[in-house]
């Protein structure tokens, strides 16, 4: 009996922070930035996001001291050409997973003020609609 009570207490201690801090119920994994050419003023970041909570979550902005500007972009093919569009927000239904991946949606990092070179780590903050945020470490990877 004592043991099962303890188990319940542990369970609640795990679940309550997720419910209380909304952005923490967005699980961000595989966060990485493609190392840009040395002369480039832009870089692209990628990640997988999953809503592990029970309510819809909306990522409303992404900020980092790494760069002058960070925004979410999606890519579409129009007339055989890839075009980027600004994404105002990213909505995630419960259990929904989205992938920001090469040739698709990505983070656009403009005007880096820190070196975005392979083996560096760049911290990027995800902000949710309720004002909470979660910091994510993006690894810079060389792909060529």
List residues binding Cu ion (CB under 5 A): 73, 84, 108
Closer residue to Cu ion (CB): 20 or 101:
101
Minimal distance in Å, beta carbon 72 to Cu ion? 9
> What's the min distance (Å) between Cβ of 96 and Cu ion?
22
Q: Which is nearer to Cu ion, 21 or 84 (CB)?
A: 84
User: Which one, of 21, 98, 14, lies nearest residue 55 by Cα?
Assistant: 21
The nearer residue to Cu ion, 108 or 136, going by C-beta atoms, is 108
* Contact assessment for residue 128 and residue 60, using Cβ atoms and an 8 Å cutoff: yes
Give the CA radius of gyration of the chain: 18
- C-beta of 71: minimal distance to Cu ion in Å? 8
Q: Which of 28/34 has CB closer to Cu ion? A: 34
Identify the sign of the CA torsion 99, 103, 108, 113. Answer: positive
Residue number, nearest CB to Cu ion: 73
CB of 73 to Cu ion, least distance (A): 3
What are phi and psi for residue 42, nearest 5 degrees? -135, 155
Whole-number Å distance between alpha carbons of 29 and 17: 19
């Amino acid at each position: 009996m004592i043991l099962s009570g303890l188990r319940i207490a542990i369970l609640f201690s795990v679940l309550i922070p997720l419910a209380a801090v909304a952005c923490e119920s967005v699980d961000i994994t595989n966060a990485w930035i493609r190392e840009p050419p040395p002369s480039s003023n832009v870089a692209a970041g990628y990640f997988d996001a999953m809503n592990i909570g029970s309510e819809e979550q909306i990522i409303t902005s992404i900020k980092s001291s790494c760069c002058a500007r960070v925004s979410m972009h999606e890519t579409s093919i129009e007339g055989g050409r890839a075009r980027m569009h600004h994404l105002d927000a990213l909505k995630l239904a419960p259990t929904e997973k989205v992938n920001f991946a090469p040739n698709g949606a990505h983070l656009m990092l403009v005007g880096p003020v820190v070196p975005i070179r392979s083996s560096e780590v760049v911290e990027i903050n995800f902000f949710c609609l309720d004002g909470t945020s979660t910091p994510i470490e993006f690894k810079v990877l060389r792909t060529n």
